[in-house]
Amino acid sequence: MIIPPNGYAAVGPPESPADWLAYLHGRLTSRLPELRRYGEYYEGEHQRLAFSQARFKAEFREVFENWRDNFCGLIIDSATERMTVDAFRLPDSPGTDTEAREFWQRSSMDALSNAVHLDAMIQGRAYVTVWAGTDGEPSIQPVSAEEMVVQFKPGSRTKLEAAARFYRDDWGQQWVTLWTEAYVYETKRGETDWEKGTRRKNPLGVVPVVPFYNRSRLVGNPHSDLSNVIPIQDAINKTVSDALTASEFAAWPQRYVTGLEIVEDDHGNPVEPFKVAVDKLLQAEDPAARFGQFEAASLSNYCDLVGLLLQHMSSISRTPSHYFLVNGGTAPSGESITSAEVGLVAKVNERMLHFGESWEKVIRLCFAVKRDKRARAYSMETVWRDPEYRTKAQHIDALLKLKQLNVPEVQLWSDAGYTPAQISSFREMRKEDALAAAEVQRLGPQPERISGVGNTPQEAKAARMASKLPQGNSGNVNRKLAEQK
């Protein structure tokens, strides 16, 4: 089919699958340049060296062609490396949900979930689809925002009306899939005419796509964490490129000589009188000749400006300044690190709040594929690993204090950073230890028992003391009286 330049051209909402695909494809292509631009800045592939003069660009562009001084990746990674999904919990069930963990592990989401968080923070959005695999089990599939676009229902920010994915495989073949609540529409591999697709009923009754939006507002589109950082990154690139250019000109201090006659060649061009080098000596016969040297240019002003720009970048992105080493390369220690990372930890907690809600929708869709009643478990919670970095001694000490408040050991193990699989192993180990202790108690020496008394060691000891005759003078008198009887 031929897609209009601006996508869907008709008036009103789309009706046919081909109209939906044209409309959604138009929305996707309009945002692709911005999405790819954010990705290039994260990877450091933007390579925008702004030289002060055109002749510098022509002369030094090849010299600095492979130069990199990119902080965009640091800003994203410092937050995403603290986001780790451990498990999912239902309030009515003790511990974490075993089947939800099985869905998670089956789809390799331990690793792929980080890619979802990464893309969402870089490009402002990412997507996850849930569908039944060939074995009937739920399959979780992350999808880039460069391949998928969704449409919410009018007036809703949570319920989807349609979603479409457009992508090419490694052989250049096109794939197109459209989801609505009523049907799923797919075109054959490599098919360019979208009107020749196949339509089948959607067994879930909902669009099986979950958006992951970053910094989403009530109005407007979600934002990338790099949107406010890129202008500062460009300014840093400009300043550093100027410093590199100045270092080329001022790397060898300029020398001068006065009192010498200027010698010219046949064309009237002055001839350089000396070949200056480390192992060369400058000399002149004319007693009026004087030698001198200009001071080398200082690059400290460029360093100060870059440091100021990094401080602005740290403040805007809420990344601790010691990550940029703007304090002269000396990393802080102790309580100063904890105080410096308060803003970063708060930002990560805010992202986990929204991303966690999306992951809960993903797990509910997995239960919907299995026809499980937990598909409507809206009280489900995402269990995240603690995003705050602390020393092991501080962490364990805090957990021991929580134990004094009668916090269950399973919760303490989870807070200590152990995974649900490790916690399950701990429970089995505790059972084995208890059985082994009981077996040792059974095979060991048993306490002496006296008839007519209890079987506990305390009762046996009390009986022995009661049967022993009293000692001392009073005891002797009592014994004699007893013998006479």
Amino acid 476: pLDDT: 58
CA 382/CA 427 separation, integer angstroms: 22
Phi-psi region of 225 (alpha: psi -120 to 50; beta: other; left: phi over 0): alpha
CA 319/CA 210 separation, integer angstroms: 29
pLDDT over 90 percentage in the chain: 36
Amino acid 276: pLDDT: 67
Residue 218 neighbours by CB under 8 Å, 6+ apart: 157
Q: Is 301 helix (H, G, I), strand (E, B) or coil?
A: helix
Contact predicate 411/89, CB 8 Å = no
> Which of the 8 DSSP states describes residue 347?
H
User: 104-112 contacts: CB < 8 A, separation 24 or more?
Assistant: 104/140, 104/363, 106/137, 106/138, 106/139, 107/138, 107/139, 107/140, 107/141, 109/85, 109/140, 112/140, 112/142
CA 2/CA 22 separation, integer angstroms: 9
* pLDDT > 60? residue 182: yes
Phi, psi values for residue 292, rounded to 5°: -155, 175
- Interhelix angle for 72-80 vs 109-123, to 10°? 140
Amino acid 162: pLDDT: 95
| C-beta atoms surrounding 211 within 10 Å | 22
The tokens 């790099």 sit on which residue?
226
Q: Which of 25, 131, 157 is nearest to 9 (CA)?
A: 25
Amino acid 1: pLDDT: 43
**Encoding tokens for residue 229?**
């950082």
Question: C-alpha dihedral over 421, 427, 433, 437, to 10 degrees?
Answer: -170
CA 264/CA 259 separation, integer angstroms: 16
* pLDDT > 50? residue 440: yes
Contact predicate 461/447, CB 8 Å = no
CA 211/CA 354 separation, integer angstroms: 10
CA 394/CA 378 separation, integer angstroms: 35
| C-beta atoms surrounding 213 within 10 Å | 19
The larger pLDDT score, comparing residue 432 to residue 75, is at 75
Confidence band for 267, pLDDT divided at 50, 70 and 90? confident
User: Distances in Å between the alpha carbon of 349 and those of 83, 84, 200, 460?
Assistant: 9, 11, 41, 60
* pLDDT > 60? residue 481: no
Amino acid 425: pLDDT: 79
Amino acid 262: pLDDT: 76
pLDDT over 70 percentage in the chain: 79
Q: Which helix (H) or strand (E) holds 186?
A: strand 183-186
Confidence band for 124, pLDDT divided at 50, 70 and 90? very high
Tell me whether residue 57 is exposed, middle or buried, using C-beta atoms within 10 angstroms of its C-beta: 0 to 12, 13 to 18, 19 or more: middle
Tens digits of residue pLDDT in 340-367: 888 999 999 999 999 999 999 999 999 9
Q: For the residues 81-105, what does the mean pLDDT come to?
A: 85
Confidence band for 7, pLDDT divided at 50, 70 and 90? low
In order, the DSSP letters of 364-421 are HHHHHHTT-GGGG-TT-EEEEPP-S---HHHHHHHHHHHHTTT--HHHHHHHTT--HH
CA 149/CA 207 separation, integer angstroms: 12
Amino acid 2: pLDDT: 41
Amino acid 204: pLDDT: 93
Q: Which of 449, 384, 445 is nearest to 83 (CA)?
A: 384
Confidence band for 415, pLDDT divided at 50, 70 and 90? confident
- Interhelix angle for 342-369 vs 72-80, to 10°? 60
* pLDDT > 50? residue 48: yes
| C-beta atoms surrounding 36 within 10 Å | 13
Confidence band for 251, pLDDT divided at 50, 70 and 90? low
Tens digits of residue pLDDT in 283-301: 777 787 887 777 777 788 8
The larger pLDDT score, comparing residue 170 to residue 444, is at 170
User: Distances in Å between the alpha carbon of 223 and those of 152, 256, 338?
Assistant: 18, 56, 28
Q: For the residues 30-35, what does the mean pLDDT come to?
A: 92
* pLDDT > 70? residue 461: no
Q: Which helix (H) or strand (E) holds 212?
A: strand 209-213
**Encoding tokens for residue 1?**
């089919």
* pLDDT > 70? residue 3: no
Q: Which of 137, 90, 83, 145 is nearest to 111 (CA)?
A: 83
